[in-house]
Structure 1
Amino acid sequence: MPTTTAVQVTDLHKSFGPLEVLKGIDLSVARGEVVVVMGASGSGKTTMLRCINFLETPDRGSVTVCDTSIDCGPGGPRGRHRAKMVRSVCRRAVMVFQQFNLFPHKTALQNVIEAPITVKGMPKSDAVALGERLLDRVGLADKRDEYPSRLSGGQQQRVAIARALAMEPEVVLFDEPTSSLDPELHEEVLQTMRELARDGMTMIVVTHEVKFAQDVADRVVFMGGGVILEEASPVEFFTRPQHARAQLFLRQVTGDNRVHHSRGDAAADAGTVEDL
């Protein structure tokens, strides 16, 4: 079992204007751990991910990725020193998005090697060798010279995963990576993610894919209203959720009305997932 912390989020807050989206998140993820984050739309899941690698700037709290810790409060680092620390975090914790965000005018291989060359200064020959290995790893060695328009959605997402891995990260953040795909294409992306988990990659995955969470996650984190409401093993979460909002969420995403009721059932039954 991993013993070293890969990601530590402490008292994380984020607002957009008057809307407080994150209200004090505390989360620790060990190296090699796969944490699945679930919750209704608007619960703060994506914002939390984006704050971890500073696509959004937290209002306060702290984010630690491996050995780089950034205090986001008024006493935190500023200027060039802060920018250097953020770059360190971004290289170690990379994001795979709902939308694939591939460069349409670049081939699959060119998309994968862009960041190693421009961000890390890797020689092109080394980047090409790395890109070819990664495309082979995600099952797309034969698509290296294809443009995104000639790839299926599942193939494009696998190129996006290879592109993220090209930065040789220590943590991969997945933001609902199958939500833009037709159902029949989900499995090819999820299988790639399963293989990453087997290889020991640290992963934080925002998803509604229950089977993936049951099979792969070491821990499930359930969010609601900008806070973490429940953390449990997959077995505990999917069979004995403790929070009423988690019970309702699972009944709606699984269609199983037999989900264990422990407390707050009347309040849960009165609402919908979107209300939570």
Structure 2
Amino acid sequence: MTQPMIELRGIHKRFGDLEVLRGVDLTIQTGEVVVLMGPSGSGKTTLVRCMNLLEEPDSGQLSVCDCAFDCGRSRDRAGRRLAQQARRRTGMVFQHFNLFPHMTALDNVIEGPRQVRQLPRAEATALGERLLARVGLSGKRDEYPSRLSGGQKQRVAIARALAMEPQAVLFDEPTSALDPELHAEVLEVIRELAGEGMTMVIVTHETHFAREIADRIVFMDGGVIVEEAAPEDFFTRPTQERARSFLRLVDHPGATAAAPLPRAGEEAV
């Protein structure tokens, strides 16, 4: 049987007195596109950040891109190298782009390959130019982030993630910081990656996009997974009331904004 690309077992994460993740089990298969959905504060962002150890879980077992960890244990030198290897194998695309403002689009894309992968500048530049062309930004290679639209910045961020040649890419609400008219250009790039078989985990509230692209919807609330289903099942016949309440909110926010969403336990992030 094929080893899962990402596997989490009993993942707990706490920030001070706030328990954010409360024993999460989740498996992501190679080539699968999994969309994480749920109300704000449900633990989605923390979970996706745990997948590449930007946040290290307090306890549980994590396997990512063939790197396995018992979380919460202090790491020796070999363990730290393994964690770095896991981060290199998982690209991360952030909600607010996180581009270096003093670097051009091209230099943002090639910084990782040059510093981490130790590629010569000429080789890294050729790679960066290919990736900018792939996301439709060949003409913006020498522009600084301040001269790019939000959608262009996010496409540069996607190219930067791909420059590390990851085995999986994690997206944390990649369109939530964009004006609505800029969503399409970013979502199209993600569609193309899905069509190429890239393993992806996407945190999003874009229900129509999620229904189109996902192999599986994972719905979270209160730091736990409440429901997992194929998109058609989740969006047409969710089994849990919290999922049904969430879908009413995102589909008809004006009609239901005054009604609070039922929560499972304390608020998470």
TM-score, L = length of structure 1:
0.91
How far 1:208 moved relative to its partner? 0.2
The 5 Å alignment of 1:1-276 reads 3-74=2-73, 78-255=75-252, 271-273=259-261, 275=263
* CA distance in 2: counterparts of 1:274 and 1:171, whole angstroms: 33
Q: Deviations over 1:11-41 (max 9, x none)?
A: 1000001100000010000111000000001
Q: Deviations over 1:184-212 (max 9, x none)?
A: 00110001100000011100000001111
* CA distance in 2: counterparts of 1:134 and 1:244, whole angstroms: 43
Query: Does the C-alpha gap of structure 1 residues 238 and 122 become closer, same or farther in structure 2, counting only changes over 3 Å?
Result: same
How far 1:82 moved relative to its partner? 1.7
* CA distance in 2: counterparts of 1:110 and 1:272, whole angstroms: 45
**Using CA pairs below 8 Å that are at least 6 residues apart, which structure has the higher relative contact order?**
2
Letter in 2 for 1:158: R
Query: Does the C-alpha gap of structure 1 residues 274 and 118 become closer, same or farther in structure 2, counting only changes over 3 Å?
Result: farther
Q: Deviations over 1:73-123 (max 9, x none)?
A: 44xx61212210110110111210000111111110000000000011111
* CA distance in 2: counterparts of 1:3 and 1:230, whole angstroms: 24
* CA distance in 1: counterparts of 2:119 and 2:17, whole angstroms: 43
Runs of 4+ deviating beyond 6 Å: none
Q: Is the 8 A contact 2:99 2:153 kept in 1?
A: yes
* CA distance in 2: counterparts of 1:274 and 1:55, whole angstroms: 29
Q: Deviations over 1:45-100 (max 9, x none)?
A: 000011111111110011111211011144xx612122101101101112100001
* CA distance in 1: counterparts of 2:88 and 2:207, whole angstroms: 29
- Corresponding residue for residue 263 of structure 1: none
SS for the counterpart of 1:273 is coil
Identity within the alignment, %? 60
- Of 64-73 and 36-45, deviating more is 64-73
- Note the residue ranges of structure 2 that are not aligned, 5 or more in a row: 265-269
Letter in 2 for 1:136: A
Q: Is the 8 A contact 1:176 1:207 kept in 2?
A: yes
* CA distance in 2: counterparts of 1:35 and 1:118, whole angstroms: 30
Q: Is the 8 A contact 1:248 1:269 kept in 2?
A: no
SS for the counterpart of 1:120 is coil
How far 1:273 moved relative to its partner? 3.1
Query: Does the C-alpha gap of structure 1 residues 105 and 236 become closer, same or farther in structure 2, counting only changes over 3 Å?
Result: same
Letter in 2 for 1:272: P
TM-score, L = length of structure 2:
0.94
* CA distance in 2: counterparts of 1:171 and 1:50, whole angstroms: 13
Q: How many residues align?
A: 263
- Note the residue ranges of structure 1 that are not aligned, 5 or more in a row: 258-267
* CA distance in 2: counterparts of 1:241 and 1:87, whole angstroms: 38
- Corresponding residue for residue 262 of structure 1: none
Query: Does the C-alpha gap of structure 1 residues 233 and 3 become closer, same or farther in structure 2, counting only changes over 3 Å?
Result: farther
* CA distance in 1: counterparts of 2:108 and 2:236, whole angstroms: 42
Letter in 2 for 1:251: R
How far 1:3 moved relative to its partner? 4.6
- Of 248-257 and 106-115, deviating more is 248-257
